């Protein structure tokens, strides 16, 4: 029986190639994920270890302590510890770099850091030399590339008070895997200059180098005795571990992210495998019956099919592991090309090999179980007659209706319950569970859905393309169970992509609507690094005739509200209710008089107060008793605790502005008004000017980038599903050899036959895409409505139409080889085939 199985496998080798390709892609995604994360983890570890190896012992603040700085006096004491060759303190704070446009670079201001020298130098100098005095500095390589500065240029950097200082760029440095510097950028100084520029009074870390003959462990013990128990004293190995944890690098999260898409790809591959073996078993009915006639038992037939599946799965999985190694290496190189990421040497552990082989083999065997079981039911008498495709039996249809309809109804009920509940994480999870049940129901009902949709989708080809179109329409619905499994594979990918697209469009529409409704201003002035905007800036803006309104927002964190630490702020009084219109939950905010306060609903719940209740705000010796006049919700862009402007100034003093919002006069163009604001704030390089249009553009850019990433990952599932369509059509062509020849004999031309088969593939692809669009749209709207109350539903029409169009074109391409093969077949030889 084993020889017979192997002979059958060789005979049907070409039919199984596309199936093997589906398994290979799915396994390749899984194995590639492990290779990628292992390689990246190795690269990170190498960089952390290389940096920490320059240090014998490091002293840091205890993890979780409120004050993360180390006093300069500690450095002096540690330098006198026996066995210390060198000791240097590291300073880190904010020192915003001014770009060539006269404004601060970045959203948060560059970090100002001190650079160790000598044996304790941990950074890599890429060009030039280290800073040697109070007038020189180095830039990290990414910041230099983005700002256009190079060695020898003069740059302006702001100190703690926002005053500019000029420095000559002496060099460019690579700071390695440092998450903060990777995000903000950095300017490196000598220790004394870094202290003066950042205003930091202590060190973030003290590094020590052991003298010759002193071990790291011995020095650590001596340093720990001198430092006392208030600090963490680490050797280089422990320092590397702490750096890795504090950097935020989590390859584990990356693994989970990619594996989620790999699971989708494997599920689609499983559908393709199941369909392929189902068709092969149906086509080999007489072959199976002959085996039974010559003495093969049901068990032998069952095992034969599974052995065939196991061989295909094992070979395809082995190829998938090789593909995964290539994908992992390519992905690691791609990540390494980005800023502040690292890729070590290619790391291939046992995990991707074993997991890839096991998963590929298991998925293939499980997918082949039902077809193998069906093969055992072929009676020996079937060898005496031709195999005919029968229609779906009525009884099986009723059972399918019941078992498909029940989960669909249950899922719809769960989604409806989630939408009637208050928005939050719980309803969102209910929507996910309901969507899964609905999808399972659709899979169960898919033969009935496909049969009806084939008539609808095939109506236009049948009307426009004559006989080939009508034949394609009828063929697509002839075996609805087979067509359903083929189209569902595509539906999975399109559903997920549509769900994601609709959710992103709805999120973007919701954010835009909230901005337009609650804060309809033209420009927003902010600062980098948490600095304040001098009040003179707002006063200057108010003198400009092109501007209609200037709104100042001030906030202080040095406050207590009913005995709890909290931030308290204010907004220019006349703006509330006019330019500033937060969504009110209770009360009125149009007239925030002295002695009143407006609270965000989360803050009100935390304090346990509502409209009409009184709270006490204290700041040092100042005490303010205020009554709650309004409670608001949402992203209101005003402080969570907003008091009257006069009350704020009296309690906290004449503070500078945290943010400024500007309205342009009607009739003034956007370019003209923006130029006026830029000119008025030229003296304040830390001030950054943004507009609602900029914010919306940032939203759109971020959402588009996210869609491209997710779309590319889900694209693999769609490719596998299209392989399934090509596979189904190829096997169908073999199955319908005599039928195609008979059509040719009755007058259908070769081009007509090719059109018929191509249109059949297009109809199946469009059916799968339409199902995915309908399901994805519903799931996307339900998900965003469950997460955010008052969500604005978005529908990306162009993107959705593109899904359907691409599916149709891809179906057409999938039919090229099968249709050409059928058209080239000899009519006489095909009619003579048994």
Structural domain contains residue 387 = no
Range of the domain at 714: 446-519+692-834
- Residue 286, judged by CB atoms within 10 A of its CB (0-12, 13-18, 19+), counts as middle
Structural domain contains residue 127 = yes
Structural domain contains residue 382 = no
Is there a single domain that holds both residue 575 and residue 494?
no
Q: Which two tokens stand for residue 369?
A: 């179980």
Give the contacts of 112 (CB within 8 A, at least 6 positions apart): 91, 92, 93, 94, 95, 157, 186, 187, 189, 194, 197, 198
DSSP assignment of 549-597, as one string? EEEEEEEEEEEEETTEEEEEEEE-GGGBTTTB--EEEEE--TT--TTEE
Structural domain contains residue 308 = no
pLDDT digits (tens, 9 = 90+) for 10-28: 655 655 676 788 788 888 8
Is there a single domain that holds both residue 815 and residue 718?
yes
pLDDT of 1 > 60? The answer is: no
Q: Which of 683, 716, 733 is the last residue of a domain?
A: 683
What count of Cα atoms within 13 Å lies in the side-chain half-sphere of residue 24?
15
Cα–Cα distance for residue pair 116/207, rounded to 1 Å: 9
Q: What is the pTM of this model?
A: 0.67
Structural domain contains residue 629 = yes
Structural domain contains residue 282 = no
Confidence grade of residue 258 (pLDDT, cut at 50, 70, 90): confident
Among 17-26, 39-48, 129-138, 263-272, the range with the most confident prediction by mean pLDDT is: 129-138
pLDDT digits (tens, 9 = 90+) for 154-180: 999 998 888 899 999 999 998 876 767
pLDDT digits (tens, 9 = 90+) for 784-812: 888 877 778 888 888 888 888 888 887 88
Is there a single domain that holds both residue 608 and residue 713?
no
Is there a single domain that holds both residue 241 and residue 92?
yes
Cα–Cα distance for residue pair 63/820, rounded to 1 Å: 69
pLDDT digits (tens, 9 = 90+) for 467-487: 888 887 887 777 777 777 778
Ramachandran region of residue 424, left (φ > 0), alpha (ψ -120 to 50) or beta?
left
Is there a single domain that holds both residue 704 and residue 635?
no
Cα–Cα distance for residue pair 675/695, rounded to 1 Å: 18
pLDDT for 16: 67
Give the contacts of 805 (CB within 8 A, at least 6 positions apart): none
Cα–Cα nearest to 581, from 627, 634, 524: 634
Is there a single domain that holds both residue 478 and residue 561?
no
Is there a single domain that holds both residue 722 and residue 833?
yes
Is there a single domain that holds both residue 188 and residue 88?
yes
Q: Which of 683, 715, 739 is the last residue of a domain?
A: 683
- Residue 101, judged by CB atoms within 10 A of its CB (0-12, 13-18, 19+), counts as exposed
pLDDT for 387: 44
pLDDT for 392: 39
pLDDT for 340: 47
Is there a single domain that holds both residue 553 and residue 497?
no
Cα–Cα distance for residue pair 461/470, rounded to 1 Å: 7
Q: Mean pLDDT throughout 254-272?
A: 77
More confident residue, 463 or 826: 463
pLDDT digits (tens, 9 = 90+) for 289-328: 777 776 777 787 788 878 878 888 888 889 989 988 888 8
Is there a single domain that holds both residue 161 and residue 223?
yes
pLDDT digits (tens, 9 = 90+) for 693-730: 676 666 677 777 777 777 777 777 777 777 777 777 77
For the chain, the helix, strand and coil percentages under 3-state DSSP, each to the nearest 5: 60, 15, 25
Q: What is the mean pLDDT of the chain?
A: 81
Structural domain contains residue 270 = no
Structural domain contains residue 49 = no
Cα–Cα nearest to 525, from 670, 694, 690: 690
Q: Mean pLDDT throughout 124-149?
A: 91
Cα–Cα distance for residue pair 273/486, rounded to 1 Å: 10
Confidence grade of residue 389 (pLDDT, cut at 50, 70, 90): very low
Is there a single domain that holds both residue 203 and residue 224?
yes
Please answer whether residues 55 and 239 qualify as being in contact, where contact means their C-beta atoms are separated by less than 8 angstroms: yes
pLDDT of 150 > 90? The answer is: yes
Q: Which of 204, 231, 246 is the last residue of a domain?
A: 246
Is there a single domain that holds both residue 675 and residue 722?
no
pLDDT digits (tens, 9 = 90+) for 565-620: 888 999 887 777 777 778 888 998 876 889 999 999 989 998 999 999 999 999 87
Cα–Cα nearest to 568, from 638, 660, 633: 638
Number of structural domains, the chain? Answer: 3
**Residue % of the chain over a pLDDT of 70:** 85
């Amino acid at each position: 029986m084993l020889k017979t199985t192997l002979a059958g496998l060789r005979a049907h080798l070409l039919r199984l190639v596309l199936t093997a390709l589906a398994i290979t892609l799915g396994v390749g995604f899984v194995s590639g994920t492990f290779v990628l994360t292992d390689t990246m983890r190795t690269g990170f570890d190498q960089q952390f270890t290389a940096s920490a190896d320059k240090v014998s012992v490091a002293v840091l603040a205890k993890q979780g302590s409120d004050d993360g700085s180390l006093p300069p006096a500690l450095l002096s004491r540690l330098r006198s510890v026996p066995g210390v060759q060198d000791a240097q303190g590291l300073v880190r704070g904010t020192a915003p770099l001014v770009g060539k446009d006269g404004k601060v670079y970045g959203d948060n201001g560059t970090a100002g850091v001190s650079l160790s020298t000598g044996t304790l130098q941990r950074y890599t100098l890429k060009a030039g030399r280290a800073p040697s005095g109070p007038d020189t500095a180095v830039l990290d390589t990414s910041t230099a590339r983005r700002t256009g500065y190079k060695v020898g240029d003069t740059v302006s950097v702001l100190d703690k008070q926002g005053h500019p200082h000029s420095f000559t760029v002496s060099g460019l440095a690579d700071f390695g895997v440092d998450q903060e510097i990777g995000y903000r950028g950095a300017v490196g100084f000598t220790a004394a200059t870094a202290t003066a520029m950042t205003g930091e009074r202590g060190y973030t870390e003290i590094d020590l180098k052991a003298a010759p003959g002193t071990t790291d462990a011995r020095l650590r013990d001596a340093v720990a005795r001198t430092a006392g128990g208030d600090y963490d004293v680490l050797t280089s190995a422990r320092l590397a571990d702490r750096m890795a944890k504090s950097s935020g690098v989590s390859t584990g999260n990356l693994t989970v992210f990619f594996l989620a898409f790999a699971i989708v790809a494997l599920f689609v591959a499983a559908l393709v495998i199941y369909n392929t073996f189902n068709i092969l078993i149906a086509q080999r009915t007489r072959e199976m019956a002959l085996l039974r006639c010559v003495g093969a038992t049901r068990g032998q037939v069952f095992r034969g099919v599974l052995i065939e599946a196991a061989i295909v799965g094992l070979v395809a999985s082995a190829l998938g592991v090789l593909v995964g190694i290539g994908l992992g290496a390519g992905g690691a190189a791609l990540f390494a090309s980005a800023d502040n990421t690292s890729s070590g040497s290619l790391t291939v552990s046992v995990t991707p090999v074993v997991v890839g082989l096991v998963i590929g083999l298991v998925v293939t065997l499980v997918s082949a179980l039902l077809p193998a079981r069906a093969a055992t039911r072929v009676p020996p008498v079937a060898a005496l007659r031709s195999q005919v495709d029968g229609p779906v039996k009525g009884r099986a249809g009723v059972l399918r209706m019941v078992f498909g309809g029940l989960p669909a109804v249950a899922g719809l009920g769960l989604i409806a319950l989630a939408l009637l509940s208050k928005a939050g994480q719980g309803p969102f999870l209910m929507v996910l569970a309901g969507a899964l049940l609905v999808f399972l129901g659709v899979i169960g009902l898919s033969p009935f859905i496909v049969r009806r949709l084939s008539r609808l989708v095939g109506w236009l080809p049948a009307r426009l393309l004559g006989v080939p179109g009508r034949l394609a329409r009828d063929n697509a619905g002839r075996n609805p169970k087979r067509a359903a499994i083929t189209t569902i594979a595509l539906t999975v990918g399109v559903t997920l992509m549509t769900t994601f697209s609709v959710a992103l469009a709805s999120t973007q529409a919701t954010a835009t609507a909230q901005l337009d409704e609650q804060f309809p201003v033209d420009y927003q002035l902010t600062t980098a690094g948490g600095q304040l905007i001098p009040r003179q800036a707002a006063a200057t803006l108010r003198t400009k005739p092109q501007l209609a309104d200037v709104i100042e927002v001030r906030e202080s964190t040095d406050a207590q509200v009913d005995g709890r630490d909290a931030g308290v702020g204010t907004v220019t009084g006349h703006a509330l209710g006019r330019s500033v219109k937060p969504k009110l939950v209770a009360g009125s905010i149009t007239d925030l008089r002295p002695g009143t306060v407006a609270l965000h609903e989360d803050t009100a719940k935390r304090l346990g107060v509502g409209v009409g209740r009184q709270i006490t705000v204290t700041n040092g010796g100042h005490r303010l008793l205020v009554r709650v006049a309004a409670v608001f919700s949402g992203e209101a862009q005003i402080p969570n605790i907003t008091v009257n402007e006069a009350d704020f100034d009296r309690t906290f003093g004449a503070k500078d502005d945290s943010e400024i919002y500007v309205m342009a006069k009607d009739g003034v163009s956007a370019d003209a008004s923006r130029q006026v604001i830029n000119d008025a704030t030229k003296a304040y390089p830390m001030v950054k000017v943004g507009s609602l249009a900029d914010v919306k553009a940032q939203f759109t850019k971020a959402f588009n980038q996210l869609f491209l990433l997710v779309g590319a990952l889900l694209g693999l599932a769609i490719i596998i599903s299209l392989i399934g369509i090509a596979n189904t059509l190829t096997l169908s062509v073999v199955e319908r050899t005599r039928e195609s020849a008979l059509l040719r004999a009755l007058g259908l031309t070769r081009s007509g036959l090719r059109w018929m088969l191509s249109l059949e593939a297009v109809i199946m692809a469009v059916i799968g895409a339409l199902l995915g669009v309908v399901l994805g749209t519903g799931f996307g709207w339900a998900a965003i409505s469950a997460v955010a109350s008052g969500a604005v539903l978005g529908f990306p029409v162009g993107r959705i139409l593109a899904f359907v169009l691409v599916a149709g074109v891809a179906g057409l391409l999938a039919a090229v080889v099968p249709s050409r093969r059928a058209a080239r077949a000899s009519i006489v030889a095909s009619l003579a085939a048994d």
